[in-house]
């Protein structure tokens, strides 16, 4: 494959995350390498999604709780943790770049207001609508966490809020461009998303993107992606943050990121290959999109193999963590870089009988001397994200 055109790298100075497998990066990598799966039975009846992968930890109490959702608080707290670890100073040259799943109304807020309503609308105010605060929707605005975080840290540099299933990759790419243009000296990138909201679970179930399982089926028995019997992914949630500085600075890893779209409902496999080519940097380790449907997985493997070679290793951190929506690319950047620094590639959790095809699919953790890896993420409609991380040397 040719890497004639590439994306210039930036440096990861610090990181932090909140995932269904924990918040300590070293511990999360250890659990990924042990093949653990965060999936558990969906406690809410009536959904086609049989399993979910939630963050068990509750965010710390915050004065921003009135204006920011639970996942927004996780994101803000991870961002503050990462920024503190960087040792940098805030000010007019620090930019905040946020990635969120999108503007979503909270069913927890709406259901009490509509539970006792009548079909004819009589007494609607007294039956519940009057209990909704007139500014209730302001709590769910996409840029709330961004604005409050920038104010909390005194970050006054250029920044932006990105929304959508691959917003994490878009935010990383945007932050990198701002650094390379010299409009800021450091970027704090924070991404958070949950695919466990009621409306999201309904949508995932309707388009058969999530594993439906069956009565009493243990989620740990759900077929892994890249198997012939794969039948949908496990929805999850995560928050993660990176502090990025120019490439000339030392840090934890070098990062490249791209995003794109092709207009189809599910992005075409060729779009994945094109994203890899745009990164312009080789890697023998790939963290796949892992959509867990045989046709999509097979097309992905063929496209990736054509881009990086048949002998590359294909893993899938989302098989363990669940699909993470807008947070995927930022979580991948952290987990892949940390795994490379450790010298171990996590397996595809739950992999028992991989489908025939190109690329090596690890069922157990694999020792490696590789120093670079690529993470792929996808979303509807036709969205693709890709990150490339490179560490200084082997373990």
Mean pLDDT, range 285-311, rounded to an integer: 97
Instruction: Indicate whether 53 pLDDT > 80.
Output: yes
Query: Whose CA is closest to 318, among 255, 256, 217, 230?
Result: 230
CA 193 to CA 236: how far, in whole Å?
A: 9
Mean pLDDT, range 118-146, rounded to an integer: 85
Instruction: Say which CATH superfamily domain 10-103+141-390 falls into.
Output: Thiolase/Chalcone synthase (3.40.47.10)
The residue ranges of every structural domain in the chain are 10-103+141-390
Residue 151 makes CB contacts below 8 A (sequence gap 6+) with none
Q: How confident is the model at residue 162 (pLDDT cuts 50, 70, 90)?
A: very high
| pLDDT of res. 3 | 39
The predicted-structure confidence for 244-260, as pLDDT tens digits, reads as follows 999 999 999 999 999 99
Instruction: Indicate whether 139 pLDDT > 80.
Output: no
The predicted-structure confidence for 66-109, as pLDDT tens digits, reads as follows 888 899 999 999 999 999 999 999 999 999 999 999 777 777 77
Q: Report the percentage of the chain scoring pLDDT > 70.
A: 97
CB atoms within 10 A of CB 94: 24
Give the range among 208-212, 271-275, 308-312 with minimum mean pLDDT: 208-212
- CB-based contact 286:376 (threshold 8 Å): yes
């Amino acid at each position: 494959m040719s890497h004639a055109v590439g994306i210039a790298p930036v440096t990861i100075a610090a990181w932090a995350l909140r995932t269904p497998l924990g918040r300590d990066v070293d511990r999360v990598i250890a659990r990924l390498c042990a093949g653990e799966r965060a999936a558990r039975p969906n406690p809410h009846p009536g959904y086609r999604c049989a399993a979910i992968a939630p963050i068990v930890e509750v965010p710390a109490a915050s004065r921003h709780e009135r204006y920011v959702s639970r996942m927004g608080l996780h994101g803000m707290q991870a961002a503050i943790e990462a920024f503190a670890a960087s040792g940098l100073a805030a000010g007019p040259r620090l930019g905040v770049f946020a990635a969120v799943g999108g503007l979503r109304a909270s069913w927890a807020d709406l259901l009490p207001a509509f539970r006792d309503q009548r079909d004819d609308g009589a007494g609607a105010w007294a039956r519940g609508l009057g209990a909704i605060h007139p500014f209730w929707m302001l709590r769910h605005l996409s840029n709330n966490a961004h604005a409050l975080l920038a104010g909390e840290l005194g970050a006054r540099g250029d920044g932006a809020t990105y929304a959508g299933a691959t917003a994490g990759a878009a935010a990383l790419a945007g932050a990198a461009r701002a650094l390379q243009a010299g409009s800021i000296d450091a970027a704090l990138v924070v991404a958070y998303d949950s695919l466990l909201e009621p409306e999201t679970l309904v949508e995932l179930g309707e388009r058969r993107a999530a594993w439906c399982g069956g009565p009493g089926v243990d989620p740990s028995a759900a077929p892994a992606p890249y198997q012939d019997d794969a039948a949908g992914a496990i929805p999850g949630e995560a928050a993660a943050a990176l502090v990025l500085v120019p490439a000339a600075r030392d840090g934890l890893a070098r990062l490249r990121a791209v995003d794109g779209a092709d207009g189809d409902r599910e992005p075409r496999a060729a779009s994945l290959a094109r994203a890899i080519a745009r990164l312009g940097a080789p890697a023998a380790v790939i963290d796949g999109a892992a959509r867990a449907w045989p046709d999509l997985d097979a097309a992905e493997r063929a496209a990736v193999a054509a881009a990086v070679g048949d002998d590359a290793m294909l893993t899938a951190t989302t098989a363990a963590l669940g699909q993470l929506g807008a947070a995927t690319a930022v979580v991948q950047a952290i987990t892949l870089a940390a795994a490379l620094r450790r010298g171990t590639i996590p397996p595809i959790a739950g992999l028992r009988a991989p489908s025939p095809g190109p690329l090596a699919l690890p069922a157990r953790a694999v020792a490696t001397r590789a120093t670079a890896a690529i993470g792929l993420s996808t979303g509807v409609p036709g969205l693709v994200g890709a990150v490339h991380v490179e560490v200084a040397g082997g373990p």
